[in-house]
Structure 1
Amino acid sequence: MVAASRVDVLRYAAFTGEPAGGNPAGVVLDAGELSDAEMQRIAAEVGYSETAFVVDATPERGSYRLRYFSPRAEVAFCGHATVATAIAIAERSGTGEVRFEIGPGEMTLNVTGGQDGTLWATFTSVATRSRLATAAEWEPVLSALGWSGSELDPAYPPAVAYAGNDHLVLAAASRERLARLDYDFEALGAHMRTHGWTTVHLVWAQSATVFHARDPFPVGGVVEDPATGAAAAAFGGYVRELGSVGLPARLHIVQGEDMGRRSDLMVDLAADDDRVSVTGTAVRLPRPS
């Protein structure tokens, strides 16, 4: 087995410009010779919610094949690790467009540089879709969270939203309810595995376009994700289908505040496309001593 200490694992905090904010992700840019078991072991040793592995690359064509592993299992798609990987590649090869081949299909990213030198990555999701969740799907989640039905916002009904993987969306009626997150880790994880959900995307609507979010991630062995690009993309598709904003629109999702790791995710909805775009930056983290 190859240990993380013997592989060049880059570490970034995504959806933030501050090392103390955002969602940390591991990035391995040369993983072509690693086995599935080795990638899983490295992701567990790194310990972040996900580590991205570039398993095939054609840099002259801007084309890369990615796989993502949480500490417990492979996942089909991870937004914050995708942003981190795009910025890591741009730091080596320069800004511009890159194509990532991932489990759900091919996605295009564009990396641009700001006047202050900050790099921004925008990924366009696969086609999104959403449907209302059944009571049998969302009521056990409320029980695991310790929430009551009266604490949900009826303007945003429970739904299962997809943008590469499935997320249950639940909207809290108040910021205070969202802030008090203390859930049954095993019960929620078991229910999520039954339905194939990657996270539960808990949101509170500050306005029609500004949302605060929290994402329990027990199926990945992580209590909570401080930034979840895949869930943000799925939620953007849900908002568009709900018809609660005029199109085109930009949503601002603030995540991780209650963890002390604020993240800012910008989600763009087009008027004539069932895909959504998610924009964020990332900052390099020091190697562990």
Structure 2
Amino acid sequence: MTTTNMERKRATRTPGGVPIQIVLGVLVVYFLIPFWWVVVNSSKSTAELFGGGPALWFGSNIDYLGNLVALFTYDGGIYGRWLANSALYAVVGGVGATALCVLAGYGFAKYRFAGRRASFSILLGAVMVPMTALVIPTFVLFSVAGLTNTIWAVIIPSLLNPFGVYLMAVYTRDAVPDELLDAARVDGAGEFRAFFRVALPLLRPAIVTVLLLSVVACWNNYFLPLAMLSDNRLFPVTVGIGLWQSTASTYGAAGGTSLWSIIVLGSLVSVIPLIIAFLTLQRYWRGGWPSAA
């Protein structure tokens, strides 16, 4: 056996001797089982959900269309409004957070200014603070400002993404050589033109990564809108489904209509935009990351 083949064999095994493909396969199955459960059970009626049938396989009556109609017509079609709210919060908050992360990360990586190290240390400390710990102080501040129960109470806090700034700073430091920026300046390009024409195209993989992470975080945000909003017409889909689940658990079947079947389907529908976003944006990662990043 050649040296190359021996290295490849060692590289495909974990320290315990188990082939890495088996470990990855087990992890894939582990993470896909909940999603498969939602796909299967969103086609069932409430009676089939609690009827003791197979939990991981389809029932006798596959009725996605009927459940979809019930989902989007229940309570005056409020679910569609929740989806639109989530899209608004995710797009505005995600794009805004990405823009701020790109600008701040580029500034930390390519400029020397007073307080740079102290500011970056504070940024690293902010990465360690869980966002849920800041919800109550944020609620107090927004309450004083009179912004609670508005869309801005969800969007403005979502614009702050310390990890995204850190990621952009680390990537920019290695992906954009200082010599390239100096050459652009020598050719007469100003700072804005050097940033937009030289640096920005090189930052595309990191920008897409931060954008996707920000959009997913805004879409999945639950505790912040739960604390900030009291009008159910402003709820994102996460809080709306949580409200339905609480109602279903408390009252069960109301008026002959149970919420559980549309709750499961609503959960499935709510993740479809994220899947589409990932599949759409993943092609921008083909260029890879700098080895030093």
Give the shorter-chain TM-score range: under 0.3
- Which structure features the higher share of strand residues? 1
Q: Highest Rg: 1 or 2?
A: 2
Q: TM-score, normalised by structure 1?
A: 0.27
Q: TM-score, normalised by structure 2?
A: 0.27
Which of the pair has the greater relative contact order for Cα pairs under 8 Å at 6+ separation?
A: 2
- Which structure features the higher share of helix residues? 2
